[in-house]
Amino acid sequence: MPAPDSVRDYDQLYRQFCWKIPARYNIGVDCCDRWAVLEPTRLAILHVKPDGHEDAITFGWLRETSNRLANVLRAHGVARGDRVAIFLPQAPEVAAAHIAIYKLGAVALPIAILFGPDALSYRLQNSGAKALLTNAQGLGKIAQIRTDVPALSCVLSIDGETDGAGSFPDLLAEASTNFTPVDTAADDPAMMIYTSGTTGQPKGALHGHRTLLGHLPGAELPHFPFPQSGDRYWTPADWAWAGGLLDVLLPSLHHGVPVVARKFDKFDPDEAFALMQSAGVRNAFIPPTALRMMRAAQSPRGRYGFKLRSVASGGESLGVEALEWGKAAFDLTINEFYGQTECNLVLGSCAQLGQFRLGAMGKPVPGHGVAVIDGDGNPLKAGEVGQIAVKRPDPVMFLQYWGKPEATRDKFIGDWMITGDQGMVDEDGYFTFVGRDDDVITSSGFRIGPGEIEDCLIRHPAVALAAAVGKPDALRTEIVKAFIVLKKDYAPSDALAAEIQSFVKTRLSTHEYPREVAFIDDMPMTTTGKVIRRLLREKA
């Protein structure tokens, strides 16, 4: 974006912006090697351990470690275009793994550590992942599905050699620190992030190396001007999620801004405030659910000496009440942004530029063409409700859904990529979210597709039919509610409901299991056999 001192307002910034995407570009070289050559001792990641101990990770360490890992992966047969899964919580090894994979010309496959064996198995099978990096916790889940993923020929554990996994520390210690990055085009595949839909299993959204450059304007706008001297970025969002990886980690490393890494087994508001104080956090991306939980902390400004410069939030609607609380708690305006895994950070607010309206998601981020359209792809007038859509070509836009050409085609109406979200634009150009025209459930910042949950539910021996819908919830935006038709030999009970909940929680993840279960006699369906979720949402 233009230099801050040359910008007077948002409109000028939007008009002046133009993309400069090089033909040849590699995320790993950009985020790591570029800085490591200039300033090898520059702080890249401040890793805060649960006991409070801090490790200062430099760009020099990232380069050396990523080079060693790239050599290890190559020695294990990983080549250009191969998928490499990263199944770890926030840690320096995650950043090094991403950089190594990009420099190798392979495709990074981030998977949240909270996923259970069923969800993990599907992603590894569907992607054909050849290698995986994890820890002892992840190995316990991998052991349950190893025979189901024959393509997975290399598993490395940062906790050492065990259960058929190679030792990440030992293998890296023996590897060379010299590695010549593969020459990649900006459009070459770099990463694949699975996103949930309304029917069937999750889809792998494949992105090119250019996606990082496409994310930069949207990552910078909520913290404008970004970066500034002394900036230090933290998010509680998992780095396996697009919000943690592409909104925070990679844009910060691109700019040479230190990122704070802290693994939370369970998010704790007081620990979050204490971390922002002790780690000197200046910039934060905090999802709405975490912000709502932080409201439970007593007098945070009086108890903690944090000095935030900017806070961004996105993934779901924040709401007026949370925005007003944020103003009082942080003494600044929380800037919201909007996007989805396929095309992220395309709308945003920036109070620093006077571009903010309570209750709105903001305006198009510089460089992106966003509109509300009808079913034929025609932009609608102010105040009319339609589909939020993004114009192509756009460097932040995904390349395709992995192995799903028809689903990729269906994502577009002409040159408009449709989001599946309904919205409207006011006379001043501010976008407001109205609702979804699909059945994706938004819970605690996660977009959850009912198909994966229903597929797991019907594996339970008592379940004949199952449907999952979102039920409004003050804390999480929505919770997953399951409607179940039992097999004839089973009777409804609280004990059975709890058993079914546990069944899903242990096989998928703690954020996808149904927090409520309702037993019904008949499932509402169309004549073609599709569940009428609208009726179930009304009942919920």
* First-to-final CA distance of the chain: 45
The list of the chain residues with pLDDT below 50 reads: none
- H-helix or E-strand containing 143? helix 136-145
The structure's pTM equals 0.89
- The Cα 325–Cα 290 span in angstroms is 13
Q: Which backbone phi and psi does 136 adopt, to 5 degrees?
A: -60, -40
Residues ≥6 apart with Cβ < 8 Å to 478 = 441, 442, 443, 470, 471, 472
Residue 371 pLDDT: 98
For the domain covering 441-539, report its CATH number: 3.30.300.30
What's the CA gap between 164 and 145, in Å, rounded? Answer: 13
The alpha carbon of 428 is separated from its chain's Cα centroid by a whole number of angstroms, namely 30
Sign of the torsion angle spanned by Cα atoms 350, 354, 355, 356 = positive
CA–CA gap between residue 353 and residue 3 (Å, rounded): 13
- For residue 521, what are its two tokens? 């006699």
Owner of token pair 């919830």: 473
Q: Is 488 exposed, middle or buried (0-12, 13-18, 19+ CB in 10 A)?
A: exposed
> Domains of the chain: which residue ranges?
22-208, 441-539
Which run of H or of E encompasses 103? Answer: helix 92-104
DSSP labels, 4-52:
GGG--SHHHHHHH------SB--HHIIIIIHHHHH-TTSEEEEEE-TTS
Please tell me whether the peptide bond between 2 and the residue prior to it is cis, using omega within 30 degrees of 0. Answer: no
Q: Return the CATH fold of 22-208.
A: Rossmann fold (3.40.50)
Cα gap 222→332, rounded to integer Å = 12
Q: Letter for the amino acid at 174? A: E
Written as one string, the DSSP assignment of 364-433 is: EPTT--EEEE-TTSPBPPTT--EEEEEESS-TTB--EETT-HHHHHHTEETTEEEEEEEEEE-TTS-EEE
CA distances from 70 to 17, 151, 168, 315, 404 (A): 36, 19, 12, 33, 29
